[in-house]
């Protein structure tokens, strides 16, 4: 997708603070962190949102969660805890139209979300 911000990050056209990368998944630090650790984990393949997911996306979605858990462990957050967030659509607060899983941690997080 030529006009997608996160596709441009995956291709390196826009710089990012990379945390992890493999064939399917890319992870980088959020530019506007909402917690001491705030990482975005995305599929390299363009998927617009959680609302657009199909059965063909099951494997890559599982991979996003596994990578998030690994990053949480590497950041030392596994014991105290962390949060995974997937915003979808306008009411869900999604501002970038490329599927992304937020990994948040390093402080006590409030609930319910706003």
Active site residues: 100
**Which own/partner contact pairs does 27-36 have at CB distance under 8 Å and 24+ positions apart?**
27/67, 27/68, 27/71, 27/103, 30/102, 34/102, 34/104, 35/104, 35/105, 35/106, 35/107, 35/109, 36/105, 36/106, 36/107
54 touching ligand AMP, by CB under 6 A? no
- Which one of residues 25, 37, 64, 94 is an interface residue with ligand AMP (CB under 6 A)? 94
95 touching ligand AMP, by CB under 6 A? yes
113 touching ligand AMP, by CB under 6 A? no
Helix (H) or strand (E) run with residue 37 in it: strand 37-43
Residues in 21-40 that interact with ligand AMP by CB under 6 A: 30-32, 40
Q: In the complex with ligand AMP, which residue's Cβ is closer, 14 or 66?
A: 14
Binding site for ligand AMP (CB under 6 A): 5, 14, 16, 30-32, 40, 87, 93-96
């Amino acid at each position: 997708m030529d006009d997608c911000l996160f596709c441009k990050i995956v291709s390196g056209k826009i710089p990012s603070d990379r945390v992890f990368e493999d064939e399917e998944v890319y992870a980088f630090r959020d530019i506007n962190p909402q917690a001491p650790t705030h990482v975005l984990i995305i599929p390299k393949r363009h998927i617009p949102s959680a609302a657009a997911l199909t059965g063909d996306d099951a494997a890559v979605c599982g991979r996003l969660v596994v990578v998030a858990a690994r990053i949480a462990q590497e950041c030392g957050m596994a014991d105290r805890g962390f949060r995974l967030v997937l915003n979808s659509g306008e009411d869900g607060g999604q501002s970038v139209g490329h599927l992304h899983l937020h990994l948040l941690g390093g402080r006590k997080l409030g609930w319910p979300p706003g």
